A = this chain, B = another copy of it.
Amino acid sequence: MHKIKPAQTISSAAIGRALDQLRTVVKQRGLKSSAVRETVAEVALRRPGHFSVDDLVSDLRSSGVIDAHPATVYRVLPLLVEAGLLQLTLISTGDGARYERAFEREHHDHLVCTSCGKVVEFCFEAIELLQRDICERFGFELTGHIHELLGVCKECRTTDAVT
């Protein structure tokens, strides 16, 4: 098991590869390319960490390049997920979806502090193997998983103790 290193700023070359991948999916699905979609993809890929749809809409607005309507972003995001650029995660926030870059990053799960909201990413081969094992035993073909550990971090525990 190891801690995931924080998501690096993505290189322009990687953005290019990601957009190529997106175009492939777009073509496969008989869709048309669009500047808006690619801008959304690029801005989303450049954003570090976990972000909400609203965060992304703000980023797009402040980028000055396009001023995409939230509905448009909502329509684009599933496609970016399908194309493997983004990943839907962090369900437990309870206030809407969170996305993060998936393109050219290793898969990982999340450990969330329920007190301060801190998120630690971790990767644990053994659990992934066990998951596949479980699925097989029940005749399922594993397509994804939600795995989020909830806890209280050290800082919050000591702070609370004082309070």
Contact = CB atoms under 8 A, between A and B. Distances in A.
A42 to B, nearest CB: 27
Contacts of A130: 124, 126-127, 130
Contacts of A133: 1
A143 B152 contact: yes
A150 to B, nearest CB: 4
- Which 7 pairs of residues, A with B, have the shortest CB-CB distance? A140-B151, A139-B154, A144-B150, A146-B148, A142-B151, A141-B152, A145-B149
A138 B3 contact: yes
A9 B122 CA distance: 39
21 contacts: A1-B133, A3-B138, A91-B91, A91-B92, A91-B146, A111-B135, A113-B140, A120-B138, A122-B134, A122-B138, A124-B134, A126-B130, A127-B127, A134-B149, A135-B149, A140-B154, A141-B151, A146-B146, A146-B150, A147-B147, A147-B148
A157 B134 contact: no
A90 to B, nearest CB: 10
How many monomers of this protein are in the complex? 2
Given A134-B1, A149-B135, A141 B157 contact: yes
Nearest to A122: B134
A150 B145 CA distance: 5
Nearest to A3: B138
A109 B146 CA distance: 11
A116 to B, nearest CB: 11
